Structure 1
Amino acid sequence: FSAVLAQDCWNTLKATYTSPIAAGGWTYGLIANGFTRPRSILFDDQGALLVVDANSGVKHLKLTDDGGTCLSVAEKRTIIDSPELNHGIALSPDGKTLYASTADKVYSWPYDSSAATVGDRNRTLIANMSNTDHTTRTLLLSNKSPGTLLVSRGSASNIDEGAISQSAGHAQLRAFDIGSLDENSVPFNFPTQGTILGWGLRNSVGVAEEPVTGGIWTVENSADQLRRNNVDIHTDNPAEELNFHGRLSDSTNDQGGNYGYPNCFAVWSTEGFPNRGNMTTGDQFTLNPSSTLNDTTCNSAYVPPRLSFQAHTAPLDIKFTPDGSEAFVTFHGSWNRDEAIGYKLSSIRFSNGEPTEPADSRTPITDVLSNADTSSCPDNCFRPVGLAWDSQQRLFMTSDSTGEIYVL
C-alpha cells in the first residue's frame, strides 16, 4: 500500500476510527455520515445518489462536487419511508421507475428524478421470499436483456436443508421478466416462477452483469462453524466464492446450475484439512463423506466456483468497470474467527469476460481500500457494502456499521 489517504479537501469528513489506507494511485474521501445502515446505492439521471438505509428507507442525496474526491452532501431527504426495505435497489433505464426490496417482496414506485419524489402508491412485482437468517434480496436490472430483473435470495439458516429442494426457492438466483407486467398483473411467485440462474447458493449478496459479454456473476458468502469428519475446519474454510451463471441471452450454457450448498463447499486452505486427498483451493468437499455423497460427487455433480476468496471475508457487492477489465468487490469482514479478516474493498482483473486468475488461485484479488488495523474490527473500522459508479467513473462505497459513504 502507498501512504495515500484522503484527498485534502476543505469539506472532508473525518472518521472516528483510524483512517483507511488506499492502494497506490487511489485517493478517497469520506463524503457522508449519519445513516442508520446504508447498504446498496445507485445514481439517478440527475446525478443524485440514492441510498437504501436499512431499517429506515430510501434516501436521496444531492451532492456538491468540488472535483476529485472532494464532495459533500448539499441536501439529504427521505423519499421512501419504509423500515422494511433492507438492501436491494434498482432504477429503470429511463429513470422513471424505482425498485426496492424487503425480505419478502420486490416493489416498484414511479420516480421523478427532477423533483426527487416517488409516487404515492407502489406495486408489488415479486412475492413470497420471506425466510429467516439471510434476508437481503439483491436486485439487478439487466442492461443486456431490458426488462429482466435478477433477484438473489439467501438461505434460511447456516446449513439450510430446505435449499436441497429447488421448489423451496431458498438459496437461489432468479430472473424475472418484469417488462411483461402491467397494472393488473399478479405478482410473480419467487419459488415457482422466473428463470433459475443458479441454486445451491447459500447467500450470494453481490450480483453483477459483465458489461461486454453480458455474463452474470455473483459473490457468495459461504457457511460458518464447519466441521469435517468431526474436525473443526471453520477458521480457514470454506472459501467464499465468485460464481458464473451464464448469459441471459443463452439459456443453454452455464445457466441454472446447482452450486453445491448445503451439500458441498469450496476449499480455501488445505493446511490441516482432514482427508484432503489431492484437493486444492476451489475444489468442493462434503462434511461427512459417504458412499452416496462424497468429495467426488461434489466435484462432478455441482458447479465449482470460478474463483475462491479467503473464508469469512464476506463479499457483499460486485461492480464492473465499463470496459469489463476489472470487477470491484466489497468484503464486509469476518465475525467468527480469532483474527479478523476482510473489511476492505478489492478488485479482480478480467479479460474477455473471464477472471485472469486461475480457479485455484490463492491471490485472486488486489486490495484497493483497507482498514489500517483489522484487529480493531468490527467495532472500530469501516465495513463496506454497496458500490456505485457516477458519471465521472468515481466509485462510491457504503459502510453500514459506521453509517458512512466513501468515494474513490
Structure 2
Amino acid sequence: MSTHYIFKVIPIVTAFVFSSVSAQRGIPPKDITKITHSTNYPEHLDFLPEMVNLLKVPDGWTVSIAASGLGKPRMLYHTPNGNLYITRRDTGDVLLLKDTNNDGKFEEVKTVVAEFKGVHGITMKDGLMYLCNNNELRRYTVNTDGTLSNKQMLFNDMPSAGQHPNRTMDFGPDGKLYISIGTLCNDCKESDREAATMIQVDPSTGKRMIFASGLRNTIGFDWHPQTNELWGMDNGGDAKGDDWPPEELNNIKEGKNYGYPFAYAKKEVDKTREDPAGNSKEKWVETTEPSSAEYQAHMAPIGFQFFPAGSPYSGDALVSWHGSWNRSKPVGFKVQRIRFSNGKPIGADDFLTGFLKGKTRFGRPAGVAITASGTVYISDDANGVLYSIKQK
C-alpha cells in the first residue's frame, strides 16, 4: 500500500542588517537584505508500471523501464560490453546489472561491492573500477564476469561530508582522475581548501591537487566530445528565495575560481555574504570566472553527461534535475538536453518529463549514462526505477 507524505509550505522571512564596520571576515557590510524562504516537498507517489505512460520524450524517442525495485539508485556507469553499474549511497553498495537476452531490460542484478558507506562516485579505466564516498577513494580489478576484486584504497582523507557528501568522479582526456568535492555547508567560507573544488588525482600515485575552486557542489560534470573541454553543472545555494541563486553551467579550467561563496552566475555578488578578510566582495569577485549559462534556481542538478561522438545529439549534454524542496512552486523533476553549438551552450530542451504533476511527483531523476550508440539510462532514486530512452 502506498504511503503518501504531504508537507505544507512554510515561508520563513529573514532580514539581515549589516554593520558599517570596515570589511573583514565575520563583519558583514551595511547592506540590508530581505529573504523569503519556502519549504515545499511535493507529495511522493509510489511507482506503478503504468506510470511510464505519463512520461514524455522527444519525437522519435521511446522510454521504457529497464529495471525496477532498485531501492535508491544514484550514479551510473555503462561499460562497452553492455553491463551497467549503479552506486547506492544509502545502502553503501554497488550493483551490477546485466541484460542477458539483449531485450533492453536488465534481468540479472548482483551486488559487487558491499559495506562501502555512502559510496557515490564511480568510473572505470584500464580494467579498474574506481569508487568513492565522501572521504575515501578505492579501486578494484574488474573480473571477466563483471564482479570486482583486489580492493585497494588510494586515500581516505578528503574533507568530511558535511551537507554535501555526494562525491562524483571521472577520468579526463589527460588520463587524470577528477573528483568534485562540494561545500561542507549551505553557504560559508570553508576552512578546508579542498571544499567547494574540483580536484585532480594522479591514479598511479594517488597524489592530488586542486584543479579549480569556487564550485559550490558540481555533482555532474563531463568533457565535451569535440573540444575536450570540461563542463560542470553547479548547484546554487538554498534559503535565498525562489529564484536566486540560479543553477549554473561552468566551463571548468585549471586554476580558475568560479565565485562561490561570494558570487554566483555572471559574477553577481551575493549581498547576504560578509566580506572576505581585508577585502570587499566586489573586489574579490573581480578575479573570478562567470558562469556560461544559468537555469532556474533549486532544480538541483545531479547527473550530467555529453552524448558521445557519433551518437544522436553528439556534442549536446543531458542533465538530471533532481527537483526542488525549498521553492514555493516545485521545479525540476525532469531531464533536459543542453544544446551546444561550436562548443558552447546555447539553450535547453526538455528530454524526459512527466514525473511532477501539480503537488505530487513519482520520480526524482539522478544518474545519467549514455551509451556509444546513444541509448540513455536515467536512475530514479525516489522509486528505484531505471529508465531507458532510445530512438525508435
Question: Which residue of 1 is the match for residue 76 of structure 2?
Answer: 41
- Alignment partners' CA distance in 2, 1:383 and 1:337: 16
Question: Which residue of 1 is the match for residue 135 of structure 2?
Answer: 104
Aligned match for 2:111, one of 68, 71, 78: 78
Q: Which amino acid aligns with 2:257?
A: N
Work out whether residues 384 and 398 of structure 1, in 8 Å CA contact, stay in contact via their aligned partners in 2.
yes
Work out whether residues 326 and 347 of structure 1, in 8 Å CA contact, stay in contact via their aligned partners in 2.
yes
Q: Which amino acid aligns with 1:72?
A: K
- Alignment partners' CA distance in 1, 2:297 and 2:334: 14
Work out whether residues 171 and 203 of structure 1, in 8 Å CA contact, stay in contact via their aligned partners in 2.
yes
- Alignment partners' CA distance in 2, 1:20 and 1:86: 29
SS of 1:159 mapped into structure 2: coil
- Alignment partners' CA distance in 2, 1:319 and 1:105: 24
Question: Which residue of 2 is the match for residue 151 of structure 1?
Answer: 179
TM-score when scaled to structure 1? Answer: 0.76
Aligned match for 1:331, one of 321, 325, 335: 321
Work out whether residues 267 and 288 of structure 2, in 8 Å CA contact, stay in contact via their aligned partners in 1.
no
Work out whether residues 18 and 372 of structure 1, in 8 Å CA contact, stay in contact via their aligned partners in 2.
no
Q: Which amino acid aligns with 1:335?
A: W
Question: Which residue of 1 is the match for residue 39 of structure 2?
Answer: none
Aligned match for 1:62, one of 92, 95, 98: 98
Work out whether residues 95 and 109 of structure 2, in 8 Å CA contact, stay in contact via their aligned partners in 1.
yes
Q: Deviations over 1:83-126 (max 9, x none)?
A: 4143200011x3x20011111111001111x2222114333346
Question: Which residue of 2 is the match for residue 116 of structure 1?
Answer: 146
2:280 equivalent to 1:293: yes
Question: Which residue of 1 is the match for residue 121 of structure 2?
Answer: 88
Question: Which residue of 1 is the match for residue 164 of structure 2?
Answer: 134
Question: Which residue of 2 is the match for residue 399 of structure 1?
Answer: 380
2:226 equivalent to 1:212: yes
Gapped runs of 5+ residues in structure 1? 1-12, 182-186, 227-233, 247-254, 267-281, 358-363
Q: Which amino acid aligns with 1:37?
A: K
- Alignment partners' CA distance in 2, 1:50 and 1:18: 26
- Alignment partners' CA distance in 1, 2:271 and 2:50: 42
Q: 1:313 to 1:15 in 2, by over 3 A?
A: farther
Work out whether residues 111 and 118 of structure 1, in 8 Å CA contact, stay in contact via their aligned partners in 2.
yes
Work out whether residues 369 and 376 of structure 2, in 8 Å CA contact, stay in contact via their aligned partners in 1.
yes
Q: 1:35 to 1:349 in 2, by over 3 A?
A: same
Aligned match for 1:305, one of 286, 291, 295: 291
Aligned residues: 334
- Alignment partners' CA distance in 1, 2:356 and 2:54: 9
TM-score when scaled to structure 2? Answer: 0.79
- Displacement, 1:17? 7.9
Aligned-pair identity in percent equals 28
- Displacement, 1:65? 5.7
2:338 equivalent to 1:342: no
Q: Which runs of 4+ in 1 moved over 3 A?
A: 15-18, 288-292, 296-299
Question: Which residue of 2 is the match for residue 224 of structure 1?
Answer: 238
SS of 1:223 mapped into structure 2: coil
Q: 1:49 to 1:123 in 2, by over 3 A?
A: same
Work out whether residues 36 and 54 of structure 1, in 8 Å CA contact, stay in contact via their aligned partners in 2.
no
Question: Which residue of 2 is the match for residue 173 of structure 1?
Answer: 198
2:377 equivalent to 1:370: no
Q: 1:14 to 1:306 in 2, by over 3 A?
A: same
- Alignment partners' CA distance in 2, 1:311 and 1:407: 27
Question: Which residue of 2 is the match for residue 5 of structure 1?
Answer: none
Q: Which amino acid aligns with 1:213?
A: T
Q: Which amino acid aligns with 2:163?
A: D
Aligned match for 1:203, one of 195, 217, 229: 217
SS of 1:339 mapped into structure 2: coil
Q: CA RMSD in A?
A: 2.2
2:351 equivalent to 1:315: no
SS of 2:74 mapped into structure 1: strand
2:282 equivalent to 1:257: no
SS of 1:119 mapped into structure 2: strand
- Displacement, 1:345? 0.6
Q: 1:213 to 1:34 in 2, by over 3 A?
A: same
- Displacement, 1:374? 3.8
2:66 equivalent to 1:31: yes
Gapped runs of 5+ residues in structure 2? 1-47
Q: 1:353 to 1:197 in 2, by over 3 A?
A: farther
Q: 1:130 to 1:328 in 2, by over 3 A?
A: same
Q: Which amino acid aligns with 1:103?
A: N
SS of 1:168 mapped into structure 2: coil
Q: Which amino acid aligns with 2:328?
A: D
Q: 1:311 to 1:65 in 2, by over 3 A?
A: farther
